[in-house]
Amino acid sequence: MKLLVRNLSRSTTEQEIRVLFSEHGKVTECTLVLDQETGKSKGFAFVEMPDEKQAKTALSALHETRVAKNRIRVKVAQS
């Protein structure tokens, strides 16, 4: 299941996101979306978790939690 993580702090790294979601299950892919010109974070990422139950657990546990002073939003990514 692919999850969309929004409202990330610009300083949050891909590794931090991976670690955060790994606490709830296996993460096969984590992609922090970067601005092509500046190379800096655009404030959102995609996290791929193969186990749907683990992904739903991560979604409910992490949605509206604080990461680096920002309250992140997690939802199922639209294909």
Burial label, 8 (beta-carbon count in 10 A; 0-12, 13-18, 19+):
buried
Tokens linked to 34? 């970067």
Q: Confirm if 64 and 72 have CB atoms less than 8 A apart.
A: yes
The string of pLDDT tens digits covering residues 10-25 is 999 999 999 999 999 9
What does the pLDDT read at residue 19? Answer: 97
Q: Confirm if 37 and 43 have CB atoms less than 8 A apart.
A: no
Per-residue pLDDT for 57 more than 90?
Answer: yes
What does the pLDDT read at residue 1? Answer: 97
